Structure 1
Amino acid sequence: MKRESFFFYLFFKPHSSMSNESLGLCILLLYTSPLCCFANFSQAKELVYKIKEGLPSGTLIGSMGSDLHLDLSLDPHVLFNLPQKMPSDQYVTLNSTTGQLFTSGNEIDRETLCPDSSEYNQGCVLSLDVFVLPQQYFQLVKVKILVEDVNDNRPRFPTGEIRVSVPENTQVNARFAVEQSATDPDLGFHGVQTYWLVNDFGLTPFLIVTDELDRERREEYVTDIIAEDGGLPPLLGTATLRIIITDVNDNCPQFTESQVNVTLYGNTTKGEHLSRLHAFDPDQGANAVISYAYSDRVPREARALFHLDRITGVIKLAGQINTATGKFYKLTVLANGPGCVPAVATVTVHVIRVASGPPVITPRYIAAEKDGVVTMKESEPPFSPIAFFTVSNTDQRGQGTECLLEGSGPFRLTPYKRLKNEYLLETTEPLDHEQRQDYELTVVLRNPRGLAIKTFVKILVLDENDNSPVFKQSLYEVSVEENNPPNSFLTQLQATDQDSEARGEVIYTLGSDAPSIFLLERLTGVLTVSTSLDREEKQTYRFMVRAVDRGTPRRESIATVVITVLDRNDNSPRFINKDFTFFVPENFPGFGEIGVLSVTDADAGENGWVALSIVNGSDIFVIDAGRGALRARTPLDREQQGTYHLWIEAVDGGEPSLSCLTVVTVLLLDVNDNPPVVLFPQSNQSYMLVLPSTLPGTSITEVYAVDKDTGMNAVIAYSIIKRKGGVPGSFDIDPDTGNITLKRELSDRGLYSLLVKVSDHGQPEPLHSTVLVNLFVNETVSNESYIQKRPGREDLFPCQPLLIALSVTCLGLFCIVVTLTAYICCKKLKKWRKCQMKRLEVEMPLKVNGDDADRKRTEISNI
């Protein structure tokens, strides 16, 4: 064993007596060649890999073996070691034999790994130390993994609702910054890039005033602000933007009544309420503060006698009036507002001399009351009692005294159950906080002398959660094209609740029937779809959405959302078969339907309309562009061409159009339209010499025929249908091969003629041909005594002798020409014999038997 291959591991366990600095497990590696070890450490290599965050487990980061140029096939003992308990351990795994780095089960999240990254410091590095073993290869490798950012975080606003205050006197086109801007943990282009309002757009979080504002006409505007990052696809973050119009002092106080008359008995007690002036200012806060004061024209005596509360506008009797004489006072009251000209009201006090004290109205409240202000819930039923009013100190036992109610609202004042001087104030209809929040009523007592005593009652209507949110639309119909990017905006739901405070705040939720791919922002009602939609998978989505308020108990309303996925031409036409084969009988009528090519397209409308055409330009076939019926222009002949291959293209009507191809094979089926054709003998005048000594069973010749048809239509059968000359039955023919054999010994010499029928097996009607086979039985054709007249076609038919007999009979009737006829016949007979000798030159048959056949050909050729 080599010295250089030794290394040892020594473990030192600390004792309790050791110092804190020495605590821990110490590992010492002793090598036989320490200089080499330190040299490798000093030459530590660095490898840099770059990956994107969020990769799945098992993704290859890099191969250290190949990057370090190590040939692992030469020494399979090389090992890669990743030290334990390093911070980066949880994110990567190392193959110790190949040096390949993979992502582990813990997802690498750049925002978690490098929370301090910023626009100016975007680097996020995962550092590893890897040891290469054994000692002869030992080296320390510094691995740096640069983690790149991906767009996996949507922008987020710090709060669900952002409030911005805008003065009502702001000029048009003025800008206001939205201080609570959105944040996005992603960096660079994946961070926040754009802000926009619903139905608006902007590049920076600024509000721009586009029209004149008036707080008294509208106090606030509510919309949604949306932050969009620059990823592909972009991610959105939403928040409710509540724009509050702040007040400016652009209105001045005004009295509800500029002339007030008060009747006062001379014996009215000190401190009695005489009247209450009311002025209002449409402004808000400090701009609406009103103070009441007497004009400088009011005498000091009147000011001292009638006290005016500068805050409430209530006038009280502050002194003792003169009861001896009647008198009237004219008081000028000013309503002062900041920076405004005072409003003026005149109060005329008529003092009436009386012998006894004035009538007194004493209220006894049934409803909740504090400082003269009654509070009632809007849910109170009709005829709910508010207060009893008792009238005392009336003249003549109250005769002629009446108690009236002044002021608008669903209230009435009636005598209580026939009791004198007792009156009940009650409601006549249910109160509605949303219609009116407060009422100011006046109970007036008048006596026959014209004296009027007034008592003021203010009623505040408390809000209750008696209104459900109401959707702006009960049905939201949304259309979106298929193949949309994920997180696409679909629509924004809008619902309002007339209740106040939390009872009027609306939260949006999806119904239980909503697919999980749809997301609904709780505060803004923005509906998005998280994935890409496919119309061919599902064309319509229909589900419920709810708007819920925050009152107690909670109230809700429901709307329906119908999302229609619009078609895009993303599907090619498809034939129902990969290829088509049609079997057609030949001679099929022209423009007859050979077959139909069925094709489908999953798209709709024009995108799904398909036209068919023949690509390889055949003039023989045509195809219906719409129906797909294949036809031939003319009848087809299998004997000319039995198979046709056509390329058919299907093109849809989309833009751009998509297409597909298929091959169509047309196979022509045979029809029995061709009779057999005899190739041998070549003609009916052919002869073959047969020796009389030929033995029975010898093959003499054969008949050979072919049929252009196929199958049973081309199977040929041979038969002898007519014989002439010699002993009948001397020759026979094989029905399958057409081979003619000698059946018995030949006793008669001469010419044997066989009429052979060649027939196919076609259906429904077999076709046939005939051929005449002439066999000359003799030793040689030179022996004249055995040459007979060559059989003509008339000898084969029985009707020919009858015609000759009839002709001879006719000639016998003409006795005058009998002698002439005999003479002519003798002449013709001599001529005929000469011609007969010339015809001994017979055509040689194409096939004879054995050596005798060769000898016979020689003999005949020598004649």
Structure 2
Amino acid sequence: MYSLTVVARVGLSYGKTMVNIVVQDLNDNKPVFLRDKEGITLSENAAVGQEVYLARARDLDAGINSRVTYSLSYNPDDQFRISEATGVIYLNRPVHADPNTVLHVEVTATDGGESPLSSRHSVMITIEDVNDHTPVFDHTSYETSLLESTPVNQRFFALAASDADLGANGRISYAVTEGNGEEKFGVFPDGFLYVRKPLDREDKDYYSLTVTASDSGNPLRSSVVPVVIHVIDENDNSPVFTNNTFTFSIRENEPPDSFVGKLTATDRDIGRNAELIFSLSSLQNDFAIDPKNGFIKTLHVFDREELVQSTGQNFMTLEAAVTDNGSPRLRDKVKVNVYVTDVNDNPPKFLRAPYRVQISEGSSVGTQVLRLYTSDADEGLNGDVFYSIVGGNDDGRFDIDDATGQITLARSLDRETYSKYLLTVVAHDAGLTKQLSSSTTVSVDVLDENDNAPEFTQTDTKISVSETTPVNTELIQFRATDADLGVNSEVIYSITAGNRKDTFHVDAMTGVLYLHKPLDYEELSAYQLNITASDNGNPRLSTTILFAIAVQDANDNPPSFPSTAIVRQIREGIPVHTPIVTVTADDPDSSLNGKVTYAISYQDPEDNKRHFGINPITGVIHTLLPIDRETIDTFRLTVVATDQAEPVSSRLSADKLVTVIVEDVNDNAPIFVSMNAAVLPKIDSKFDKGGVTIMTVFARDLDSATNGLVTYELASGNNELFRLDQSTGALKLRKSVSNPEPTYRLSVKATDEAVQSERKSTEAYLTVIATNHVDVGPKFESDSFTGSVYENEPPGTSILTVSAKYHSGEVEYYVTNVTGGGVQVDRLFDIDTKLGVLSTATELDREFGVDTFEIEVYAIVTGVGTLKTSKTKVGI
């Protein structure tokens, strides 16, 4: 506008006036941006509706010509929208571009003139990377092998994982997190596995590791992969013979190349390192051995009698060696005793020849006349000699005991008729294939004396004895009588045959039979004894009876388990009655004494529930109840093996520990334990750009590892006002609110980090209460409330009622905090929003350590114009 003073003159007269000229605007200026281009960044996970950029343009015109409106003249895929009046650009759709991608948006500012003018402004939006990708291994599992001699710190296998994020969000580090309890392996930062401690295949030939790849983002993200490592054998174990000494036998007179026995050895290695080669000492020329199978054979014929005569023993001792086929070759040595067993190749030989004897003509029938003795160099039956009279006994006056060579009187003698007898006696051995014999003469002079042999009076010919009978136990007393008088009637008892290993002993004077050495039914179950009763006459006469002793088996061997530990892994949730492991015990006893049954005597932990059962016959252990790792993750079962001896009190048993480890399955969803109400904090003038924390949301997941790792998100509510931290669960206020609503209703979601297909989640509702610091809120009936509740009551048990009054509107109640022992605890209590009834939210346990709780309760008035709140404390 211009103000002019206009003067008009006529002669000396003049007049003046004010002329105001208003300059009307013409739309000759277009809107102008401060800069033609602008560059900004935007997070790749930015929420739809988020403010992205504020476009501002100025127009020098006036009025309608200076009123600027904004529009997007270039907006690919309708990614953004703009407020026409304010120029605020909002995100219209989720960002699907890769990080570091630049999105071009063109903003047009147009004035309101009749012929509108406009200008354009370019906004270059760079998509900023967010750590939203988890490292991914290039394989779902790995398997490799390495020599057990691999040096410590040597690399042997490369793992590789990738992360689609950028910078630190995509920088990966590796760690062995499971299966490495002995710390045998490590992993370098570049993903190469290396040997951390020396390996031993014989100790363990298989490792199942879990390797975790983690990025460097915030929050950190990680993934795991199983790695199976097989340890390859090397020749680091010497072969070992199975016996300290081998004992074999071979019959004498066998032809060369006869089989003697087989050597056996073991080698803890495998493959070529366990291939065994046998050899004998080169210092002997008697035997040869097959290097592959250890068969020993003879090189010539052996004579047992010659061997005994030359060496004093009937066996030969060799030195054998076994070598493996590894590199270097390892060996072991052992002694081998080869016994040469007897063949009947020697006839009996009489010790005296000829024999002369005198006998009284009054001797009764059965009188012992003479005992012939022979020697036979052979053994066993080949050396057992039997006798017979083949001449000079035509009238049968004499008999001979075919086993003992005892000649006895068979018929009464008469010296006046025959005063002398010349008997021909043949002695032959008891060889099975052939029998050899020799003969001698016995001259019998008949004298005028009488004699009688002892006679047994007892009728028992057999007894049974338990193998556990103590040594020196009296078994039976033999009784024999002799009709003679004086020393000729004194009876002496002896065991003349069948007393193997000198197991029994008979008292010579009393005839009492004692156990001299321990019995073992498993070694020998019966004995046949020759019991002889002899007098003290001259010549001595004797009587022999056959006495049988049966050994009764006793339960003297308990069952025995293998010494190796029994550990099994099972997944939780497997079907009931699933077999998991078989235990086996051996018992060398016979019959019921060796029959084993199985039972589970104890389960750790002991919770009055039997999670496992066992087949008493087969020893197969199976599940009886559903298995839940979150309740019990390791079971220790004591299995008892018992024989079936009778009576029950004599039974023997052994026990074995069976360890069952339960592997986790993602069968639990996160459960919110934090408060479901919080108070909106008072905001001062200096609002923190990072936001003000209102509360921390917390959900607990009972699973392990990533199955129990929880992340959070805001499912519904005011996203522009509130923000929920994904990892920590911190609920923050994005900006200051001058006139808050009485309450804000939010829905939060907790999700575990199991594999995508198995993830579980839970949603909960939160109420954020805006407090009023000026107006007086509802009036509680008391400044504080006190109540009590019994422990172990079910959730939802009512405790007390909190009541507050206000002259108008309805009052709602909220629990905002619970503390116990001065420390904030889980949301253990709930309150009825409308009625104010306080109740338990979970089952309480007084022995848990806290028996007194303080609960903060807020009361808020709804339906009135301004905020009106009050709070009180409740003690439980």
Normalising by structure 2, report the TM-score.
0.37
**Which has more helix, going by share of residues?**
1
User: Larger C-alpha radius of gyration, 1 or 2?
Assistant: 1
**Which has more strand, going by share of residues?**
2
Normalising by structure 1, report the TM-score.
0.37
